[in-house]
Amino acid sequence: MRTIEIQSPYLIFTGEATDSTYAKTGLGLLEWRKELCQGQIRLPEGTIDLGLPFLTVEEAAQSGIKSLIIGTASVGGAIPDTWLDVLEAAVQQGLDIVGGVHTRLNDIERLKQAAKQSGANLVDVRVAPENLPVATGIKRTGKRVLMVGTDCAVGKKYTALALERDMKAAGLNAEFRASGQTGIMIAGKGIPIDAVISDFVSGAAELLSPHNNAHHWDVIEGQGGIFHPGYGAVSYGLLVGSQPDAFVVCHEAGRTHISGWPDFELPSISEVIDRTIAIGRLTNPDIRCVGVSVNSSGMNEEQSGRYLSDLSQGLGLPCVDPIRYGSAPIVEEMISSFGLEAVA
């Protein structure tokens, strides 16, 4: 198995954080995988409270917790020296340490030595697994739905998680497949696609979503945007390797230009649909769009409802804000388009 895997349950570490902005990873885990989060730990200067039991690393190990998740980030994304006593103590207790920050856990000598003695793992989520293959392009069994974006940071991860939730609620066999570091922590496994050397991106996507039974759906977290001047390459590779039967376009209402690239206008949703189908047909000739997910957080309820209604009428597809209203209309479209039935 070449995907990153994280052992649960989790102890969430928030360091000295006093602002929830810097604890997004921990909060994301709590929102989407609360059942895996069994405790929290922070330094004396910290004030973040996730609503979980406060545990020492000794108590966590005794209670059966398997991994300490770094659920916060310092400014600059490094691991401060002030964290190391707690992290080392956790490793000595046999807890794996899982980090998605820029500093690699495996570059910190005292943690490496402690892990060598205890047998615990240091899991650097932003590091691609070794020996990834070149893609074969061979069609795989099972079904796949991929999130694609008009841009970066438009809600691809949250859309995939909401879609997985609502597909399961409809009785479908669905599993979220994570392709970014926070998604991997939420899912407990995955591959950080944007850390993969370009020749192996499609091969990594094939590993991320392997053969499965005919009724199984992989709900694949997207990366970048196919029209993005900086990150389009990773989007292309993920699309070709995923071989999606279906895709959902993710968009932020009101955004007009590629974020951080003001000289590039945002593509229309129709353009994204057409280009995704054109590229995706390379490995799945039957690829189709099943809906649009819109981040309408900048609008009030009335504006959001009107925007989604007009967009749906213009495209002839279900258009939803999955955080506000759920993604059930897209699930219904998938059931209708693919003749799906609930499975036990």
Mean pLDDT of the chain: 94
| Mean pLDDT to the nearest integer, 37-59 | 96
Selected residue with higher pLDDT from 19 and 286: 286
At 209-231, the pLDDT tens digits run: 999 999 999 999 999 999 999 99
Report pLDDT for 102.
78
Q: Rounded to an integer, what distance in angstroms lies between the CA atom of residue 122 and that of residue 83? A: 15
Q: What is the pTM of this model?
A: 0.87
Q: Does position 116 have pLDDT exceeding 60, yes or no? A: yes
Q: Does position 127 have pLDDT exceeding 50, yes or no? A: yes
Burial class (CB in 10 A: 0-12, 13-18, 19+), 59: middle
Q: Does position 84 have pLDDT exceeding 90, yes or no? A: yes
pLDDT-derived band at 73, boundaries 50, 70, 90: confident
Report whether 204 contacts 240 (CB < 8 A).
no
| Mean pLDDT to the nearest integer, 248-262 | 96
Report pLDDT for 21.
74
- Considering only 126-135, 260-269, 313-322, which range has the smallest mean pLDDT? 126-135
Report pLDDT for 1.
46
Angle among Cα 101, 189, 344 to the nearest 5 degrees reads 150
Report pLDDT for 61.
97
In the chain, pLDDT over 70 holds for what percent of residues? 97
Report pLDDT for 75.
58
Q: Compute the half-sphere exposure of residue 303: CA atoms within 13 Å on the CB side of its CA.
A: 9
In the chain, pLDDT over 90 holds for what percent of residues? 86
| Mean pLDDT to the nearest integer, 150-172 | 96
Report pLDDT for 76.
59
Q: Does position 342 have pLDDT exceeding 70, yes or no? A: no
Report pLDDT for 224.
93
Q: Does position 156 have pLDDT exceeding 90, yes or no? A: yes
**Which residues contact residue 31 at a Cβ distance below 8 angstroms, ignoring those fewer than 6 apart?**
none
Which residue do the tokens 């490995």 mark? Answer: 283
At 261-306, the pLDDT tens digits run: 999 999 999 999 999 999 999 999 999 999 999 999 999 999 999 9
Report pLDDT for 343.
56
What sign does the CA torsion over 291, 214, 4, 57 have? positive
